[in-house]
Chain A
Amino acid sequence: MHRRIAAVWRPILAMWLAVATVPFSSAFAEDGHIAAAVLKRIFPAATHFGSVGGAPPAIPAYRNDEIIGHVFRSHAVVRSVGLSGKTLDIAVGLDAAGIITGAEILEHHEPILAIGVSDDDLARFVAKFSGRDARLPIQVLRRAPKDGTAVDAVSGATVSSLLMADAIFQSAIAVGRSRGVLEGGASGIDLTGFEEADWQTLLADGSLRRLVLTLGEVTRPLADKGARLYPAGAGPDDPDIRFIDLVAGLATPARIGRNLLGPQRFNRLVGALAPGDHLIFVAANGLYSFKGTGYVKSGRFDRIQITQGERTFQLTRDDHTRIEQLRIAGAPKFREMALFVLRQDRGFDAARPWRLELLVEGESDAGSVLTVHTLDYGLPGRYIPAAGTAQPRVPSQDLWRAVWLDRLPDVVLLIGMLLILGAIFFLQDLVARRRILYKALRYGFLIVTLFWLGWYAAAQLTVINVLTFTAALRTEFEWEFFLLEPLIFILWAFVAVALLFGGRGAFCGWLCPFGALQELLNRIARRFRVPQFRLPFTLHERLWPVKYIIFLSLFALSLGAFDMAYTAAEVEPFKTAIVMRFVREWPFLLYVAVLLGAGLFVERAFCRYLCPLGAALAVPARIRMFEWLKRRWHCGQQCNICATKCPVQAIHPNGSINPNECIYCLNCQTLYFDDQTCPPLIVRRKRREKHDAEPFAEGV
């Protein structure tokens, strides 16, 4: 999923969705802006602040006339996302020494209310990072030791805690690098910029680095351990003789590689690279060969290796290209030259410093002694333009595995629920024949759906899932983002299969917590004899399309302005009523109250006419494969009992069930088997009773 589609709060101005526009704080109107009060809190040492600018966007913090640091929003810098897969936005301050001055959450969608964690807990957590060094990201542990080497995660929200720490450090590093506070740059390397440069120029500006070792410099550390480079008397012994004169550098930028190799050879070699892979140029003179001869047989170079940060790269024959001739002016003649491919998928980042390590082996009476000499390389800043917009950060595999493990009990419970529901559908006739069993199953299930699935686990599917999914299909699809919500993921998998088999009803009628809430409230209302309104079928039918219009509008919005679609999706009361359990500003509560109020008189009014998710499900459900709901030829011809009893009026006066509206509650099936209600069955029963009562009448 591409992070661009994740929402950034913006006020909605004129939309037909008046209800979604709320006096929400709109202080963060544009990308990167931060309210003055927040700035002051997270960078108290500053006297005033500049305006947002640069790439990535940040606000300079001043003390008098001097810039003493920056404040920025993690989402604007690294497109940080939370466990929900939605925007996680933290305002972070970074001073000129690379120390984090403070952090404050601006926006999050962590499903924390479901697990009893408050916003204050999260705020206290991010505050712990002030005073930390951005270069030394600190570990977040479920239970951290008290020595300050790690930070305690918010209990119950370990993964969210990890992601928040990640957002803080990654954005601080990105801003720090781009502002020259921290070293290294983002992966944006200028590979194409070209100008003629000779050998001396490239060496002088650091594009190429050199390591010169004399024989003495190599033999001394060996002699300290009683070892010799050569058998006594067999090799040269002048300590000032040149052992190796090694030059190395990144060859992928045109200014380096094209000058070294000439345009044709350069273009051919670079053209053969996978994106993100790089070439390293190595050349040497002197007594010692950096290639050795072992690679011919073993396939790997045993005298050189590249290390970068926490990674070690061994060089193999497959990565090796021999160079015979340099095109660059002023280069000496080298005894051996080579290019090596360093691969991005193995973790090489050309913008970060790396080391070429040269291994020299000596022999002592007690065995061989190995020594290492290093050439340090850092790509000069001229090849690294200011970091552009950061790439979206995809959660790692480990992360979603951790999430699944963390929520394993919930996953198991949900699968149990779905198995029961599947059994109800497959055995629907058996269930429908037993009215008491049916009622127990139906209301029991709805109660679990509402209380456990909805209010406890916050696993309410929403039209936003549909929009993000289709948006992800159009841009970059990453399963990981969807896998971060195990329950939602499982529910969607089930709903997809159920759509194919029977339609939207399996979800709408059984697994939608808000649907369950409406239905249960309506049952209670009926018990208190609240009058029920039945809309005339023609009007009812004319209102059906409204939800499709809402869905199509949201879909159209999501193509252009996903953040607006995200806000507009508040037409669904799910977030207020289920995910946030009514802990929200009053306009949202009012909206939910209106919908639920309407539902007391018109059962599932929202589902019938407004729900965009129901509409979104009804469309693909047209490919369903089975019609399992039983009908009689009398239905609609002689009798309309099912149609009048249908809680969502999904049965046409002609007796056919509209699968786009049906919530698969099985009510009509209980009637189908009820010989007290279904007229054809009543007739049959009466005939049988009469027959039973007059056992001897037959012969008459």
Chain B
Amino acid sequence: MRTADRKARRRALTILAAAAGFPMLGVRSAMARAPRLEWRGQALGGPARIVLRHPDNQRARQVLSHCVAEIDRLESVFSLYRPSSELAQLNQRGKLASPSHDLRLVMAAAKRFGVLSDGAFDVTVQPLWQTYARHFATRPGDRRGPAARELARAAALVDYRNLDLDEGRIRLARPGMAVTLNGIAQGYITDRIADLLRDAGMTGVLVDLGEMRALDAPGEDPWRIGIEDPRNRGRIIGSLPLRGAALATSGGYGMPFDEDGRFHHLFDPATGRSAAQCLSATAVAPDAMTADALATALAVAKRERTRALLAAFGGSHARLILPDGGVVEATP
């Protein structure tokens, strides 16, 4: 049950990529003519895809195999499916004495994003999610949602400021606290893979682990990333260009607890209720971890804070799809 839910939760972030990356006229470099290589697999329980170009197919495959190993390594840090993963251990024990660099980096970023969004982005919402999941597992289709008392009890555990990250250790300051990195770990992995590919000299790179990152490729058109219609899944209702940056989408529609989609996984930590500001929020930022967190924050925060959040996170573009179907574009 938990596994299935988590899988579904990942799907919420899925957007469709319209493949591009064709060279512009007149600037056909050897790199741009290089054959395209594509890998599809799994990362943190969701579909993953890596696209790249390199004239030496053998070299490209070798680098790709490094990427697959790196995804595997990071799963053993962040995966909630692996009971031995560092994150699972942290949630179980409430502290980790010697976390890896990767977990420390992501936890520090998570806390900083919490500060920057004034709590709209908060990785300690896991108790809320557990409350909802439990409630709808026993009462599927219930229209009222969990009791206010239960929600209050879970919401009381939610506070990113109770993440103690001093001296290279990680501690959850209150008993019962739990962390989910689903709004940020995919982004981190995406960035690591993109860095690996950039360092190896690959071009035409698109890394898609739910969040997408495209490397800057001179002489190539930007990727066009399709954005899914939240009310008509599988249909694209617009697209954004992506080049040398990352893009992420968050939407409650991806993982509703009930049929109407009133209850979903994007919680407002302030109220413990599912956010209803918009159906989906798409953010473009320099790296995927930031885009990932920013999209979540945008989907949860009040609409008037959109520009301020973009500026605080260093994002370059946001697109919100409102409950009435309206589209809001924002730049900082």
User: Is A bound to B?
Assistant: yes
A-to-B contact residues, CB < 8 Å = 96-98, 133, 135-136, 147-149, 181-183, 224-226, 294, 298, 300, 302, 305, 307, 309-312, 314, 316, 353, 357, 359, 361, 364, 366-372, 374, 376
The reply on B98 being an interface residue by CB < 8 A is yes
The answer on a CB contact under 8 Å between A135 and B62 is yes
Within 8 Å CB of A302, what residues of B? 98, 104, 167-168
* Contact status of A314 and B98, CB under 8 A, knowing A224-B286, A298-B168: yes
The answer on a CB contact under 8 Å between A136 and B62 is no
A309 interface neighbour in B40, B73, B168, Cβ under 8 Å: B73
Interface residues of B in 187-227 (CB under 8 A from A): 199
Cβ-closest 6 pairs across A and B:
A310-B72, A302-B168, A366-B115, A309-B69, A135-B65, A370-B105
Specify the chain A residue showing the minimal Cβ separation from B160: A367
> Complex formed: what's the CA distance from A428 to B62 in Å?
67
* Contact status of A300 and B105, CB under 8 A, knowing A309-B73, A367-B112, A368-B112: no
Tell me, rounded to whole Å, the shortest Cβ–Cβ distance linking A178 to chain B.
Answer: 16
* Contact status of A370 and B61, CB under 8 A, knowing A136-B68, A302-B168: no
The reply on B316 being an interface residue by CB < 8 A is no
* Contact status of A369 and B58, CB under 8 A, knowing A149-B40, A298-B97, A312-B102: no
The answer on a CB contact under 8 Å between B101 and A372 is yes
The answer on a CB contact under 8 Å between B100 and A135 is no
> Complex formed: what's the CA distance from A361 to B98 in Å?
16
Within 8 Å CB of B101, what residues of A? 305, 357, 359, 370, 372
Interface residues of B in 152-166 (CB under 8 A from A): 165
The answer on a CB contact under 8 Å between B65 and A136 is yes
* Contact status of A310 and B76, CB under 8 A, knowing A366-B115, A367-B115: yes
B-to-A contact residues, CB < 8 Å = 39-42, 57-58, 61-62, 64-66, 68-70, 72-73, 76-77, 97-98, 100-102, 104-105, 108-109, 111-112, 115-116, 165, 167-169, 199, 286, 314
* Contact status of A367 and B108, CB under 8 A, knowing A224-B314, A311-B73, A312-B100: yes
List 20 interface pairs A-B (beta carbons < 8 Å), by A numbering.
Answer: A97-B57, A136-B61, A136-B64, A149-B41, A224-B286, A298-B167, A298-B169, A305-B101, A309-B66, A309-B72, A310-B69, A312-B73, A312-B77, A312-B102, A314-B98, A314-B100, A316-B98, A353-B66, A371-B105, A372-B101
Within 8 Å CB of B64, what residues of A? 135-136
The answer on a CB contact under 8 Å between B72 and A369 is no
Within 8 Å CB of B108, what residues of A? 361, 367-370
The answer on a CB contact under 8 Å between A369 and B73 is no
Within 8 Å CB of A309, what residues of B? 66, 69-70, 72-73
Within 8 Å CB of B165, what residues of A? 368
Q: Identify which of A183, A357, A366, A370 gathers the most chain B CB atoms within 10 Å of its CB.
A: A370
If A148-B40, A309-B72 are given as contacts, then 4 extra A-B residue pairs at C-beta distance below 8 Å, sorted by A number, are: A149-B42, A305-B101, A309-B66, A310-B69
Within 8 Å CB of A307, what residues of B? 70, 73
The answer on a CB contact under 8 Å between B168 and A294 is yes
The answer on a CB contact under 8 Å between A366 and B57 is no
* Contact status of A369 and B112, CB under 8 A, knowing A98-B58, A294-B168, A305-B100: yes
> Complex formed: what's the CA distance from A298 to B116 in Å?
31
* Contact status of A367 and B111, CB under 8 A, knowing A97-B57, A149-B40, A314-B100: yes
Tell me, rounded to whole Å, the shortest Cβ–Cβ distance linking B66 to chain A.
Answer: 8
The answer on a CB contact under 8 Å between B62 and A182 is yes
> Complex formed: what's the CA distance from A147 to B61 in Å?
20
Within 8 Å CB of A370, what residues of B? 101, 104-105, 108-109
Tell me, rounded to whole Å, the shortest Cβ–Cβ distance linking A545 to chain B.
Answer: 58
Tell me, rounded to whole Å, the shortest Cβ–Cβ distance linking B292 to chain A.
Answer: 14
Tell me, rounded to whole Å, the shortest Cβ–Cβ distance linking A274 to chain B.
Answer: 22
Within 8 Å CB of B115, what residues of A? 366-367
Within 8 Å CB of A368, what residues of B? 108, 112, 165
Within 8 Å CB of A367, what residues of B? 108, 111-112, 115
Within 8 Å CB of B111, what residues of A? 367
Within 8 Å CB of A96, what residues of B? 58
Specify the chain A residue showing the minimal Cβ separation from B110: A367
The answer on a CB contact under 8 Å between A136 and B314 is no
> Complex formed: what's the CA distance from A667 to B318 in Å?
89
> Complex formed: what's the CA distance from A517 to B167 in Å?
73
Within 8 Å CB of B62, what residues of A? 98, 135, 182-183
Within 8 Å CB of A311, what residues of B? 73
Within 8 Å CB of A98, what residues of B? 58, 61-62
The answer on a CB contact under 8 Å between A372 and B61 is no
B76 interface neighbour in A294, A312, A361, Cβ under 8 Å: A312
* Contact status of A97 and B58, CB under 8 A, knowing A305-B101, A367-B112: yes
Within 8 Å CB of A294, what residues of B? 167-168
Within 8 Å CB of B112, what residues of A? 225, 364, 366-369
Within 8 Å CB of B68, what residues of A? 136
> Complex formed: what's the CA distance from A295 to B72 in Å?
28
Specify the chain B residue showing the minimal Cβ separation from A315: B98
> Complex formed: what's the CA distance from A98 to B116 in Å?
48
The answer on a CB contact under 8 Å between B39 and A136 is yes
Tell me, rounded to whole Å, the shortest Cβ–Cβ distance linking B4 to chain A.
Answer: 16
Tell me, rounded to whole Å, the shortest Cβ–Cβ distance linking B110 to chain A.
Answer: 10
The answer on a CB contact under 8 Å between B105 and A372 is yes
Specify the chain B residue showing the minimal Cβ separation from A370: B105
Within 8 Å CB of A147, what residues of B? 40
Within 8 Å CB of A305, what residues of B? 100-101
Tell me, rounded to whole Å, the shortest Cβ–Cβ distance linking B287 to chain A.
Answer: 9
Within 8 Å CB of A133, what residues of B? 61
> Complex formed: what's the CA distance from A305 to B103 in Å?
12
The answer on a CB contact under 8 Å between B98 and A298 is yes
> Complex formed: what's the CA distance from A364 to B98 in Å?
23
Specify the chain A residue showing the minimal Cβ separation from B62: A183
Specify the chain A residue showing the minimal Cβ separation from B65: A135
Within 8 Å CB of A316, what residues of B? 98
Within 8 Å CB of A361, what residues of B? 108
> Complex formed: what's the CA distance from A181 to B57 in Å?
12
> Complex formed: what's the CA distance from A310 to B70 in Å?
6
> Complex formed: what's the CA distance from A359 to B101 in Å?
7
> Complex formed: what's the CA distance from A307 to B101 in Å?
10
Q: Identify which of B41, B97, B101, B105 gathers the most chain A CB atoms within 10 Å of its CB.
A: B101
Tell me, rounded to whole Å, the shortest Cβ–Cβ distance linking B106 to chain A.
Answer: 9
The answer on a CB contact under 8 Å between A359 and B61 is no
> Complex formed: what's the CA distance from A157 to B106 in Å?
42
Tell me, rounded to whole Å, the shortest Cβ–Cβ distance linking A526 to chain B.
Answer: 61
> Complex formed: what's the CA distance from A225 to B285 in Å?
12
> Complex formed: what's the CA distance from A59 to B41 in Å?
33
> Complex formed: what's the CA distance from A135 to B58 in Å?
10
Tell me, rounded to whole Å, the shortest Cβ–Cβ distance linking A165 to chain B.
Answer: 16
> Complex formed: what's the CA distance from A148 to B47 in Å?
13
* Contact status of A366 and B116, CB under 8 A, knowing A298-B167, A314-B98, A359-B101: yes
Specify the chain B residue showing the minimal Cβ separation from A183: B62
Tell me, rounded to whole Å, the shortest Cβ–Cβ distance linking B246 to chain A.
Answer: 13
Q: Identify which of A294, A316, A359, A367 gathers the most chain B CB atoms within 10 Å of its CB.
A: A367
> Complex formed: what's the CA distance from A528 to B76 in Å?
69
Within 8 Å CB of B41, what residues of A? 149
> Complex formed: what's the CA distance from A368 to B112 in Å?
7
Tell me, rounded to whole Å, the shortest Cβ–Cβ distance linking A141 to chain B.
Answer: 12
Within 8 Å CB of B70, what residues of A? 307, 309-310
Specify the chain A residue showing the minimal Cβ separation from B59: A183
